Amino acid sequence: MLSLLSLGCWASAYPRVAYAAAQAREELPAAMTFDWTDEQGATTQLSRWHGKTLLVTMAYSTCRQVCSFTLHQLEELQKSADRVGSPIEVVVISYDPNVDGPVTWSIYRRHHHLDRANWHFLTGSVANTRQFAAALEFPYWRYDEHLVHDFKILLIGPDGGIAKILTWATRNDDFFTETAANDASAGVQGRNQ
Amino acid sequence: MSIRMFLDQTFRARRAVAAFLFGSFLIQTPAKADIEGLTLHGFADTYYTSTTEQNSPSGNSGFRLGSLDLYIAPTLTDHIRALMEDVVEFDDWYPPGAYNGQPSIDIERLQLGYVVSNDLTIWIGRFHTPYGYWNTAYHHGAQLQPTVQRPQFVAFEDHGGILPAHMDGMWASGRDSIGPGRITYDVYFGNGQRILDGALDMQNEGNSDSHTAIGGRFGYEFRDGVLDSLWIGVHAFQEQVDNFVHGVVTARTDVQVTGGFFHWTPGDWELMSEYYGFDNRAHDEAGPRHSSTAWYAEADYTFYGRITPLARVERDSLSQTDGYFQYLQGGKSYTRDLIGVRYDLTPQTALKLDGDHTDATRNGGQAYHELHFQVAVRF
């Protein structure tokens, strides 16, 4: 009986997740226009890279497990894109604007040798961060100083639409095989889940 | 205890657990799930322990349940916050003969806060006492902490800890940017602790002896340069702690603690340490002060965000003529050397394997080996 009650706690969250999933595509255009601050302190928006292939994820600089793995997977995807000659932009948006900022991200990049010019580490307001995470389904919650979140990378095609989603279940998938690169360039709308 | 009493206790405990979980279930009904702040999160863990310690107060070898930790932290308005953390667990540090084999439900934290500004929040309620690093970094989230168990002397009160991990009172907490980093500050006061059945009790139902605990923690967090991410600070607290045996005070001790800590994550390294110096004195006597020390140091390195080998040393030198340590079951000197590895199977699931050698022979205890394997999840 207790087990069933416990399972009920988790099961009841599913309708909310499904609802959020249905919202994501509709809310992407709005999310592309949110203001962010890059490592140089300049204001920018994701729409700046419209017409290019984007890898987008969320992370924060003091995270040592999920974010480290996410950044490692981004590096692997970058290598894969390089192999097939597919130009991409990589955008990492901070979960934690209270801690992260241009200086913090600059140090983080230096420590982790993430120095390519097509990688961008952005920070926004608390409100924009919340709305962006909700719109693109990057769920997270605070456990005091910890920001608890999952692994996720979005591939946004040149048309500004979500072409693929990398989750934990598909974490080793390669976006940039020849076929994937062609699909992404054509802005194919499909989910890899 | 008669069979009838035992069955009554068993039934009451199970009914309490069922009611608690059912209440949690109701909170998560879909109709309310869309209201921001009512989302329920938490942690759970279970583990296997092998120990050579005989008659261990913390249990024997075998499979063991850790804790089921339910966490709710609604933001009620822009300025008012609430934080509730309830844990169902088996308290393994019951006094000999009192352990009844039933789980207990503890309201570990229940704090209501007023956010004065981004730099200052004032809390009232029961909170984790802000000293050192561990107590306010990992709380009850077993899946978050690198090792299976906390350092022994930093353990919670009902697991043999010698520090007041919980406090009922008020707490001002904040941080402010200064120079290339920011200062952090915590000041608190609350009900003084007392010792009941060999364990610290934080007096949740009122300050029966009117003793006030007061303390603070001040630190600096580097956000630039070679020391980026280093958080270093000092902490102190003092209170009068009385020992009770069958309702009678057998010792009164003025406890005074000072110390320091640091936590640093250069790249994929994590380094941390905490030090506590006790300068206690019997309250009713003009006798000598009793000095004791406790510290640990830990280092780990994370490969690809998933594999984390680690090592920790713990050193605890506690005066047995001190009325505080004399009556605390965990108040015995010990040394512990621990190595382990954590593997993040998924972002939500950690597998941990720790092995340690503990030597508590200095105060007549045992020297023994332990091996822990833990599965810890968050949800």
| Alpha-carbon A42 to chain mean position | 20
CB nearest to A2's CB, from B21, B29, B306: B21
Interface test with A, best of B21, B78, B139, B176 (most A CBs within 10 A): B21
CB nearest to A5's CB, from B21, B30, B304: B21
Q: What is the pLDDT of residues B97-120, one digit of tens each?
A: 566 677 889 999 999 999 999 889
Of A193, A191, A184, A169, nearest in space to A80 by CA: A184
Report the pLDDT value the prediction gives residue B35, as an integer from 0 to 100: 44
Question: How close, in Å, is residue B173 to chain A by CA atoms?
Answer: 12
Report phi then psi at A169, rounded to 5. Answer: -65, -25
Q: Judge if B120 and B4 occupy the same domain.
A: no
Q: What is the CATH number of the domain that holds B168?
A: 2.40.160.10
Question: How close, in Å, is residue A163 to chain B by CA atoms?
Answer: 24
Q: Judge if B146 and B278 occupy the same domain.
A: yes
Q: What is the pLDDT of residues B137-184, one digit of tens each?
A: 999 999 999 999 999 999 999 888 999 999 999 999 999 989 889 999
Report the pLDDT value the prediction gives residue B286, as an integer from 0 to 100: 75
Residue B7 belongs to what domain range? Answer: 1-35
Q: Judge if B289 and B358 occupy the same domain.
A: yes
Question: How close, in Å, is residue A176 to chain B by CA atoms?
Answer: 21
Are B355 and B339 in contact, with CB atoms under 8 Å apart?
yes
Report phi then psi at B93, rounded to 5. Answer: -115, 35
If one compares B122 and A187, the residue with the highest pLDDT of the two is B122
Q: Is some CB atom of chain B closer than 8 A to the CB atom of A188?
A: no
Put simply, the answer to whether A143 touches B29 (Cβ < 8 Å) is no
Nearest CA in chain B to A76: B304
Is there a domain that residue A193 lies in?
no
Is there a domain that residue A61 lies in?
yes
Put simply, the answer to whether A65 touches B305 (Cβ < 8 Å) is yes
Count of domains forming chain B: 2
- In what order do the strands lie in the sheet containing A119-122? A119-122, A88-94, A53-59, A152-156, A162-167
DSSP state of B192: P
Nearest CA in chain B to A15: B30
Distance CA A158, CA A32 (A): 13
Q: Judge if B264 and B179 occupy the same domain.
A: yes
Put simply, the answer to whether B347 touches A66 (Cβ < 8 Å) is yes
Burial A156-192, CB ≥16 within 10 A → b, else e:
bbbebebbbbbeeeebebbbbeeebbebbeeeeeeee
Is there a domain that residue A124 lies in?
yes
Put simply, the answer to whether A69 touches B305 (Cβ < 8 Å) is yes
If one compares B31 and B328, the residue with the highest pLDDT of the two is B328
Would the pLDDT of B253 be above 50?
A: yes
Q: Judge if B182 and B216 occupy the same domain.
A: yes
Distance CA B232, CA A62 (A): 16
Q: At A185, is the pLDDT very low, low, confident or very high (cuts 50, 70, 90)?
A: low
Q: Is some CB atom of chain B closer than 8 A to the CB atom of A143?
A: yes
Size of interface A-B (CB pairs under 8 A): 99
Distance CA B260, CA B258 (A): 7
CB nearest to B40's CB, from A9, A146, A168: A9
**Reduced to 3 states, what is the DSSP secondary structure of residue A103?**
helix
Burial class (CB in 10 A: 0-12, 13-18, 19+), B62: exposed
Would the pLDDT of B20 be above 80?
A: no
Report the pLDDT value the prediction gives residue A52, as an integer from 0 to 100: 93
Strand partners of residue B294: B276, B316
CB nearest to A9's CB, from B18, B25, B118: B25
Q: Judge if B28 and B43 occupy the same domain.
A: no
Count of domains forming chain A: 1
Is there a domain that residue A126 lies in?
yes
Residue A87 belongs to what domain range? Answer: 15-185
Are B315 and B338 in contact, with CB atoms under 8 Å apart?
no
Is there a domain that residue A29 lies in?
yes
Q: What is the pLDDT of residues A2-51, one digit of tens each?
A: 444 444 443 343 334 344 444 555 667 778 889 999 999 999 999 999 99
Would the pLDDT of B6 be above 50?
A: no
Question: How close, in Å, is residue B162 to chain A by CA atoms?
Answer: 24
Q: Judge if B30 and B87 occupy the same domain.
A: no
If one compares B285 and A20, the residue with the highest pLDDT of the two is B285
What is each CA distance from A192 to A21, A102, A172, A173, in whole angstroms?
A: 13, 33, 12, 9
Q: At B129, is the pLDDT very low, low, confident or very high (cuts 50, 70, 90)?
A: very high
pTM, two decimal places:
0.84
Q: List the single range of A114-128, B80-94, B178-192, B312-326 with lowest mean pLDDT.
A: B80-94
Listed in order, strand segments (DSSP E) in B227-379 are 231-245, 248-264, 269-282, 290-301, 307-317, 334-346, 349-359, 367-378
Q: What is the pLDDT of residues B293-347, one digit of tens each?
A: 999 999 999 999 899 999 999 999 999 999 999 999 899 999 999 999 999 999 9
Q: What is the pLDDT of residues B193-244, one digit of tens each?
A: 999 888 899 888 888 777 899 999 999 999 888 898 999 999 999 999 999 8
**Beta-carbon neighbour count of residue A72 at 10 Å?**
15
Contacts of A67 in chain B (CB under 8 A): 305
Is there a domain that residue A8 lies in?
no
Nearest CA in chain B to A75: B304
If one compares A146 and B68, the residue with the highest pLDDT of the two is B68
Of A178, A144, A172, A155, nearest in space to A49 by CA: A155
Report the pLDDT value the prediction gives residue A180, as an integer from 0 to 100: 54
Contacts of A13 in chain B (CB under 8 A): 28, 33, 39
* Average model confidence (pLDDT) across chain B: 88
Is there a domain that residue A46 lies in?
yes
Is there a domain that residue A137 lies in?
yes
Q: Judge if B28 and B62 occupy the same domain.
A: no
Put simply, the answer to whether A2 touches B17 (Cβ < 8 Å) is yes
Strands A88-94 vs A162-167: parallel, antiparallel or unpaired: unpaired
Q: What is the CATH number of the domain that holds A150?
A: 3.40.30.10
Q: Judge if B15 and B123 occupy the same domain.
A: no
Using CB atoms and an 8 Å cut-off, which of residues 218-247 of chain B contact chain A?
223-224, 228-229
Report the pLDDT value the prediction gives residue B288, as an integer from 0 to 100: 83
Q: Judge if B75 and B18 occupy the same domain.
A: no
